[in-house]
């Protein structure tokens, strides 16, 4: 992509979501991710308040169809001098906060790759194995330089966003 308006660094859920929403609004977006997906990542329990976001990103069906384990609440187990105490919070007890009474435990490698695929679909120029290691500024132009594993660590990409 020539002359991107936005360079997103990192293709985790934050970077992918940001890139998707910007591209859906017509912006030219490049996303640089240092790893090659799928890659292992910790942090798999989705929040039940995120369904509106999945709709905006256009990935609700993919999450529902992925076969992830269903999550209907959360159990906190806390220990003090008197022993263990358990607090169970069921999502369906709080319809005022959650449009649906459940969510999922996702496989982050699978989930993150799904979001990155969605970013490509809406026009984001996604470049994996691009490690951003320098910021560039010249007059009004801002950008970054990234080294690519396929080019043995040499700087191969200078994206400029005005
Ligand atoms: C033990 C643990 C348990 C957790 N459990 C949960 C949970 O159950 N539910 C939950 O919602 N959250 C959980 N989290 C938090 C969750 O993992 C993070 O909030 C989430 O991963 C943040 O997403 P992100 O997109 O901001 O960052 P990340 O997922 O970390 O993604 C950042 C991406 O940027 C890339 N990157 C970094 N530097 C560069 C660079 N210089 N150039 C190019 N690319 C780069 C990385 O390769 C990575 O892919 C947990 C976290 C931990 C540590």
When pLDDT is cut at 50, 70 and 90, the band that residue 151 belongs to is low
Cβ atoms of 141 and 162 closer than 8 Å: yes
Specify the pLDDT at position 90.
95
Specify the pLDDT at position 118.
98
Whose CA is closest to atom 5 on ligand 1? 43
Over residues 104-139, the pLDDT tens digits come to 999 999 999 999 999 999 999 999 998 888 777 776
**CA 39, chain centre distance (Å):** 13
Q: Please give the structure tokens belonging to residue 135.
A: 């910021």
41 alpha carbon – ligand 1 mean position (Å): 7
Q: Which atom of ligand 1 is nearest to the CA of 37?
A: 49
What number of other Cβ atoms are within 10 A of residue 99's Cβ?
Answer: 11
Over residues 47-92, the pLDDT tens digits come to 999 999 999 999 999 999 999 999 999 999 999 999 999 999 999 9
CA-CA distance, 133 to 69, in Å (whole number)?
A: 37
Whose CA is closest to atom 31 on ligand 1? 12
Pocket probe for ligand 1: among 19, 43, 45, 144, the residue whose CB has the most ligand atoms within 8 Å is 43
Specify the pLDDT at position 149.
64
**Is 14 touching ligand 1 by the criterion CB < 6 Å?**
yes
Pocket probe for ligand 1: among 9, 12, 48, 134, the residue whose CB has the most ligand atoms within 8 Å is 12
Domains of the chain plus CATH, in order, are 6-43+107-159 (3.50.50.60)
CA-CA distance, 24 to 4, in Å (whole number)?
A: 14
| Most distant CA pair in the chain, distance | 64
CA-CA distance, 9 to 130, in Å (whole number)?
A: 9
- Per-chain mean pLDDT for the chain: 89
Residue 6 bridge partners (DSSP): 29
Specify the pLDDT at position 83.
94
């Amino acid at each position: 992509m020539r002359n991107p308006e936005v360079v997103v660094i990192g293709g985790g859920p934050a970077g992918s979501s940001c890139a998707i929403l910007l591209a859906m609004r017509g912006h030219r977006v490049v996303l640089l991710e240092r790893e090659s997906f799928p890659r292992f990542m910790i942090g798999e329990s989705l929040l039940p308040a995120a369904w509106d976001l999945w709709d905006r990103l256009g990935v609700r069906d993919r999450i529902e169809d992925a076969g992830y384990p269903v999550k209907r609440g959360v159990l906190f187990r806390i220990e003090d001098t008197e022993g263990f105490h358990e607090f169970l919070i069921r999502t369906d007890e709080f319809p005022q906060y959650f449009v649906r009474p459940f969510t999922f435990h996702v496989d982050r490698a699978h989930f993150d790759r799904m979001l990155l695929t969605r970013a490509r679909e809406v026009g984001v120029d996604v470049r994996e194995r691009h490690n951003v290691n320098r910021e560039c500024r010249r007059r009004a132009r801002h950008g970054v330089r990234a080294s690519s594993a396929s080019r043995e660590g040499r700087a191969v990409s200078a994206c400029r966003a005005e």
